[in-house]
Amino acid sequence: MELQEIRRELNDYFLERREEIDIALTALIANEHCIFLGNPGVAKSQLIRAIASHINANYFEKLITRFSTEDELFGPLSIKELKENDRFVRKTENYLPNAEIAFLDEIFKANSSILNALLSIMNERIYHNGDVIQKVPLISLFGASNELPEENELLAFYDRFLFRKKVDRIKSMLNLEKLIDLNENYKPKTTMDIDEIKKLREKIEKVDISNIKRYLIDIKMTLENEGIYISDRRFKKSVKAVKAYAFLNGKDNADENDLDILRHIYWDEPNEFYKVSITIFKISNHFSGFALEQREILDALMGELKKINKDRLPLGGIEYRKVLEILGKINSIAITLKDVKRKAEENGKPSEFVEEVLKEAEGLKNYVEGLLKN
What tens-digit pLDDT sequence spans the chain (374 residues)?
799 999 999 999 999 999 999 999 999 999 999 999 999 889 899 999 999 999 999 999 999 998 999 999 999 887 776 666 667 788 899 999 999 999 999 999 988 889 989 999 999 999 998 888 999 999 999 999 988 877 777 888 899 999 999 999 888 888 888 888 888 889 999 999 999 999 999 999 999 999 999 999 999 999 999 999 999 999 999 999 999 999 999 999 999 999 999 999 999 988 999 999 999 999 999 999 999 999 999 999 999 999 988 888 877 788 888 999 999 999 999 999 999 999 999 999 999 999 999 999 999 999 999 888 86
Q: Are residues 11 and 149 in the same domain?
A: yes
- Please list, residue by residue across 278-304, b when 16 or more beta carbons sit within 10 angstroms of its beta carbon and e when fewer do: bbbbebbbebbbbbbbbbeebeebbee
Determine, yes or no, domain membership for 61.
yes
End-to-end CA distance of the chain: 50
Q: For residue 171, what pLDDT is reported? A: 84
Residue 121: closest CA among 106, 109, 107, 138: 138
Q: Are residues 90 and 108 in the same domain?
A: yes
Domain final residue pick, 249, 265, 283? 283
Q: Are residues 212 and 66 in the same domain?
A: no
- Give the Cβ contact number of residue 1 at 10 Å: 10
**Cα-based distances in Å from 70 to 29, 106, 129:** 28, 15, 11
Q: Are residues 46 and 175 in the same domain?
A: yes
The answer for residues whose C-beta is within 8 angstroms of residue 192's C-beta and 6 or more apart is: 2, 3, 6, 54, 55, 56
Strands 34-37 and 163-166: parallel
Rg (CA), the chain: 23
What does the alpha-carbon distance between residue 11 and residue 315 come to, in Å, rounded to a whole number? 44
- Please list, residue by residue across 174-185, b when 16 or more beta carbons sit within 10 angstroms of its beta carbon and e when fewer do: ebeeeeeeeeee
Q: Are residues 155 and 51 in the same domain?
A: yes
What does the alpha-carbon distance between residue 227 and residue 255 come to, in Å, rounded to a whole number? 26
Strands 59-63 and 101-105: parallel
The boundaries of the domain holding residue 313 are 285-373
Q: Number of structural domains, the chain?
A: 3
User: Could you tell me the strand order of the sheet in which 59-63 lies?
Assistant: 59-63, 101-105, 140-145, 34-37, 163-166
What does the alpha-carbon distance between residue 24 and residue 48 come to, in Å, rounded to a whole number? 8
Determine, yes or no, domain membership for 226.
yes
| pTM to 2 decimal places | 0.93
Q: For residue 85, what pLDDT is reported? A: 66
**Cα-based distances in Å from 198 to 58, 139, 161, 331:** 14, 8, 19, 48
Residue 331: closest CA among 370, 308, 364: 364
Count of helix runs (H) and strand runs (E) in the chain: 15, 9
Q: Are residues 273 and 291 in the same domain?
A: no
Q: Are residues 367 and 298 in the same domain?
A: yes
Domain final residue pick, 283, 318, 342? 283
Do the Cβ atoms of 21 and 151 come closer than 8 Å? Answer: no
Determine, yes or no, domain membership for 194.
no
Domain final residue pick, 133, 160, 180? 180
The answer for residues whose C-beta is within 8 angstroms of residue 264's C-beta and 6 or more apart is: 19, 23, 163, 164, 165
User: Hey, is 246 helix, strand or coil?
Assistant: helix
- Give the Cβ contact number of residue 131 at 10 Å: 8
